[in-house]
Every structure is written in structure tokens, then in C-alpha cells.
Amino acid sequence: MASCRKSSSEQLALRISLAGTVLMAASGLGMGFYVNSDAILLDGLFSLLSMGMTGLTLYTAHLVSRPDDDVFQFGYSHLEPLISVVNGLIILAVCGFALYGGISAMASGGTQINLDMALTYAAVSTLFSFSIYFAERHIAREVDSELVRVDSQEWLVDGILSTTILFGFLLVLLLDELGYNQWNAYVDPILVSSLAIAAAMLPLQVLRRNLKEVLLMAPDNRVRQRVEYTLANIARSQEFADYSCHFSKSGRQYDLEINILVEDSHDWPLERQDRIREMIHRRLVRPLGDTWLSVSFTSNAKWL
């Protein structure tokens, strides 16, 4: 029941995000060309690319809720961090493109914009972006969804972008009032360059977190230490001769493989082995959540 609720909430959040992205992409690109603003064009371009990634993320949310099958025999959870990495790389590429465009525009003398329409767009875009960001962040916390969490970060980037554009255009008004309107043409490209650098920080965080899962690195220390501590207690109380543990996380699923060395196989019938498996499941798998558990017994240290 909880899994169904999570999948339903994820897909609802991502559908709302997709609809909002379509609206932002169309309005951003159209308004950017109309008012001659590279900053607004960047906003629209970011939304356009996000539209494709949100659609892919929505499809991934549907896949990871499915059980394993003949093709993906370990399930679909590994697609979640993979899509997040691709998502982060695309955002980073957009930021790089924007930085290049802003620097080029400054070198060529800047750009003049239609200020009244630009201000209206920036204000509406800021409100809209942050509304979806806070809604998705709430859903991500409620159902613990990395997919929705990463998607919400795109809206945060877009909200920061729109906010900075809004303040930049207000700066143009101020410069006019103070008699420094000769600098107005440089405001838009400076905005683009500054935002590109600032916005690149979020995808870097997404990449750092999800690349660890794509590369099947061990989870963070807190979770790993809890697993190691609990398993050491079980090994001591059940008198294992030795054991090994391999632990990784992929998306919402943990993979836990435990190999146990026993000295005398006659003392370890199947019934006792199953009791150990049940004990490990109760003390480790239940607190962790979705976990692929494998527990094997051997009397040969070679197989640890």
C-alpha cells in the first residue's frame, strides 16, 4: 500500500512539473525573443531541456515501481540514480552554454531589452517556479523520492534564475533613474553569466550524490555503520567462524550480500540457516526498507 501511494504521489508531482515546464518553456522562449533578452531566453531554454528530462523522469518513476522481470531480473531501481546523473549533466551543460553566451554578449557591447514586458515576465516566472519547487519538495519529503527531489532542484534553479533576472531588470530601472543608462546594455549578459555560475552548484551536488550509486559505492557512513554494527552483534551471538558483507545502494533499493563461514556444517542444518536469515531480515532489512538480501553459508573460507 505504501509503495503504491509513493508511486502515485511521484507521478502526480512529475505530471504537474511536466505541465509547468511546457508552459515555462513556451513563454520563456517566446518572451525572450520578443523583448530581446538572453537571460529570459536562457530561462526558456532551461525549461525546454527540463521538459524532456521531466518526461523521462516520469517514465522512470513508473518503471522503478514495477517488480523485477525476465529482462531486469534485479528490478529497475538502478535506473533512478542513472537518470538523475543524466539530468544533472544536462543542467550543467546548459549552465556552461549560458556562461559562454553571457561573456560573448558583454564582449560585443551588451544587449538592449524591452524593459516593461521583461519585468512582468520575470515576476510571474519567479512566483510560478518557486510554487512548484515548494510543492515538489513537500512531496519528496513525504514519500522519500529521489526522483521528485532532483526534479524539484530544477525548479529551484529556475526560481533562482527568474528571481535574479527580476532584480537585474529592477537594476536597469534604477540605473535609468540615476542617469547611468549607458550601462543598461550590460545588465542582461552579466545576469546570464552570473546565473550560469551560481546555477551550476546544484547539478554538481546531484552528480556527487548519484554517481556514488551508479558506481555501486557503499552508502553513507551512518547507514553502513549501522549495518556493520548489527551484523557484528549477530555474528558474535550466533558464533560465526567468520563472515563477509557487501553493501551498496541503487536508487531506493539497498543490495546486501552476506557470506557466513561455519566450522562444522553438521551444526548448521537448513532450519538453523533460515533462522539466521530471518534474524538478519528482522534486524536489518526492515529498518532499511526496500532491500535485496542474499545470505549464504559455507565451510570454505574461499567463498567469503
- Residue 145, domain CATH: 1.20.1510.10
C-alpha dihedral sign at 152, 74, 72, 209: positive
Q: CB-based contacts of 2: which residues, under 8 Å, 6+ apart?
A: none
pLDDT at position 74: 67
Contact 277, 260 (CB under 8 A): no
Same domain for 278 and 183: no
Same domain for 255 and 172: no
pLDDT at position 105: 78
Q: Is 248 helix (H, G, I), strand (E, B) or coil?
A: strand
Same domain for 258 and 178: no
Q: How far apart are CA 49 and CA 260, in angstroms?
A: 49
173-191 burial by CB neighbour count: b if 16+ within 10 A, else e? eebeeeeeeeebbebbbbb
- Please tell me what DSSP assigns to residue 267: G
Give the domain-ending residue among 151, 183, 214. 214
Same domain for 277 and 140: no
pLDDT at position 1: 47
Same domain for 197 and 113: yes
For β-strands 242-250 and 253-261, DSSP reports them as: antiparallel
Contact 139, 145 (CB under 8 A): yes
> The cell 557512513 sits on which residue?
221
Same domain for 148 and 32: yes
Same domain for 282 and 143: no
Same domain for 228 and 210: no
Q: How far is CA 110 from CA 3, 44, 119, 175, 182, in A?
A: 52, 20, 18, 15, 10
pLDDT at position 130: 92
Copy the grid coordinates of residue 301: 573460507
pLDDT at position 81: 80
Same domain for 251 and 204: no
pLDDT at position 146: 73
For β-strands 291-298 and 253-261, DSSP reports them as: parallel
Same domain for 240 and 92: no
Same domain for 252 and 205: no
Same domain for 40 and 134: yes
Domain that holds residue 250: 221-303
pTM for the whole thing? 0.63
In tens digits, the chain (304 residues) has pLDDT values of 455 556 677 778 878 888 888 888 888 888 888 888 877 887 787 777 777 776 777 677 777 767 766 767 666 677 778 877 887 888 788 888 788 878 887 887 777 777 778 888 889 989 998 999 998 888 888 887 777 887 787 788 788 878 888 888 888 888 877 877 777 778 778 888 887 887 787 778 778 777 777 777 767 777 788 888 888 888 888 888 888 888 887 777 788 888 999 888 888 888 998 998 999 888 888 887 778 888 899 888 888 7
Length of the chain: 304
Domain count, the chain: 2
